[in-house]
Structure 1
Amino acid sequence: MITRANGLLAGAVSVILGIAAHGLAGGYRPEGRQLLLLAAIGLGVAAIRGAQVDRAQQHRARGRSTSEWLAVTGVVAGGQLASHLSLSLLGMPSGHHTMNSAAMIGWHLAALPTAVIALCAISAVLRLLVSTVAALRVALPARSELTASVTPAEPAVALHDLTPRLSVGMRAPPVLG
């Protein structure tokens, strides 16, 4: 669960930030072919981030420390760069459209630390929730133990017989005659 959630969030955030920075710097809204490419970029970022989370969990299990923020920074920056390239190179008829490059870089750089902090915080919260659920499963008795300690009450008295009645013979449409 942690791997998929982290991956999907990183993919979505990366693509959304790429589109937002592009738009705020004077770009235009993406069209159909660009949206398909952006979706593929988001899935690629999600797969890479999921692999990073798996590797980080393995390192933590072995007692090694990991620099999650560095991995998140790399994957989100790569996703933003790929998003920017897809929006710019597949742009309007003239290719790369006229916009302020300094503003574009500024918006991308402004969005990156916020996204990294948010994704690292969400990852930590997900790990906390999963470990809490695992601890509760160990601490609480199993459901079968709880139901075994409950004594059943007197059987309920049926007011009428509800057993199904089976008919004998063949069911067919009526004969018209």
Structure 2
Amino acid sequence: MNIIDIINKTKNSVPLTDGEIVWLIENYTNGEIPDYQMSAWLMAVCLNGLTEEETVSLTLAMRDSGDKLDLSSIGNITADKHSTGGVGDKTSLIIGPAAAACGIAVPKMSGRGLGHTGGTIDKLESIRGYRTELPEDEFFRIVNETGFSIISQSRNLCPADKKIYALRNSSGTVDSIPLICSSIMSKKLA
């Protein structure tokens, strides 16, 4: 396999195999594929989309690129919500504590801004003393004690998504629905 063939297939709307997508994500994550070539593939996706099967393969490849969180140590039912974004979006800061007050644990991992708006993590980092990067055991302890905590995406959880997320912001491919879905779901499934 090589990146040029994968870019050309996506550019010409020829579906990629699961193996090709796994190869692409693994090789981009480990630095074998440079940003400029991954940007070309992202733009091909942005212009031509992905099939449902390709989107699932991309999601799972990004999920499997790093560690996974085991939520079994959290004693309560767990839930999450995904921010729709926007300058005034503060729903995570309201819904999380409200759900926790009802006995539903919300172990929340949030992201930075993408495009023109600040993300939940950007907002929380404006609060003096709030730490968005916590060790996993401390994160789970806080969730078990309070029912709610928000942290930033860890270095080891979905590292492929972390790299692609930043590249989408600088390559004009933020608004691609398959890329948005894969980014969101890879983190939720991990």
Instruction: Give the TM-score category using the shorter length.
Output: under 0.3
TM-score relative to the length of structure 2: 0.23
Q: Of the two, which has the highest radius of gyration? A: 1
Bigger strand fraction: 2
Bigger helix fraction: 1
TM-score relative to the length of structure 1: 0.24
